[in-house]
């Protein structure tokens, strides 16, 4: 046998023929998994850019305020942030309310935890958000999710 050469057995060849394609598929699968945050970020960015299209009342609000409230939605409920209708209505309610409180954060977290947005009623959201703001947000989320 020449120096530096190894004898590759049939078993080694078979193993390599199985491992390398598996590694390739694994890399492809990882790429798909790694791409999800990029897609989500693009959807959220697109949603932010379309807030005033679906919520024209936000055109008159200082951009820094809108961005700040949108970041609250994005941080605590990225799923809601992907939808410009829902996110815009949430931002608008924060503008009308004059801020953010712990009940609002709790409501956003509850939405993100997997509550089906189409089935969120004002009763569920108002428990997390409290008072009239919770009722208003619950109605907005329900109406937006149903296409109203």
Long-range contacts of 119-125, Cβ-Cβ distance < 8 Å, separation of 24 or more: 120/145
- What pLDDT is attached to residue 113? 81
DSSP tag of 120: -
Residue 1 domain flag: no
Q: How far is CA 115 from CA 70, 118, 141, in A?
A: 20, 9, 11
CA distances in angstroms from 114 to 1, 21, 109, listed in the order given: 64, 36, 9
Distance of CA 99 to the CA centre of its chain: 22
Q: CA 140, CA 129: separation in Å to the nearest integer? A: 13
Per-residue model confidence (pLDDT) at position 109: 87
* Domain contains 21: no
For residue 13, the model assigns a pLDDT of 61
Q: Is residue 122 part of a domain?
A: yes
Domain range holding 102?
41-145
> How many domains does the chain contain in total?
1
Half-sphere exposure of 125 (CA within 13 A, CB side): 24
Indicate whether 48 belongs to any domain. Answer: yes
Question: Per the domain annotation, does 20 fall within a domain?
Answer: no
Q: Is residue 33 part of a domain?
A: no
Residue 2 within any structural domain of the chain: no
Average pLDDT, consecutive stretches of 10 residues, N- to C-terminus, the chain (148 residues):
55 56 49 72 92 94 96 93 93 92 87 60 44 51 46
Give the pTM. Answer: 0.57
- Measured between alpha carbons, how far is 129 from 54 in angstroms, rounded to an integer? 23
E strands, 1-148, are none
In a domain, 9, yes or no: no
């Amino acid at each position: 046998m020449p120096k530096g050469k190894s004898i590759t057995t049939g078993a080694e060849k078979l193993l390599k023929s199985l491992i390398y394609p598996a590694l390739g598929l694994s890399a492809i699968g990882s790429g798909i998994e790694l791409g999800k945050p990029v897609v989500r970020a693009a959807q959220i960015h697109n949603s932010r850019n379309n807030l005033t299209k679906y919520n024209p009342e936000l055109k008159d609000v200082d951009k820094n305020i809108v961005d700040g409230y949108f970041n609250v939605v994005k941080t605590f409920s990225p799923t809601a942030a992907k939808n410009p209708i829902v996110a815009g209505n949430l931002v608008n309610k924060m503008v009308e309310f004059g801020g953010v409180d712990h009940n609002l954060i709790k409501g956003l977290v509850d939405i993100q935890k997997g509550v089906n947005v189409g089935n969120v009623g004002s009763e569920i959201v108002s428990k997390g958000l409290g008072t009239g703001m919770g009722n208003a947000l619950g109605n907005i989320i329900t109406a937006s999710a149903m296409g109203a």
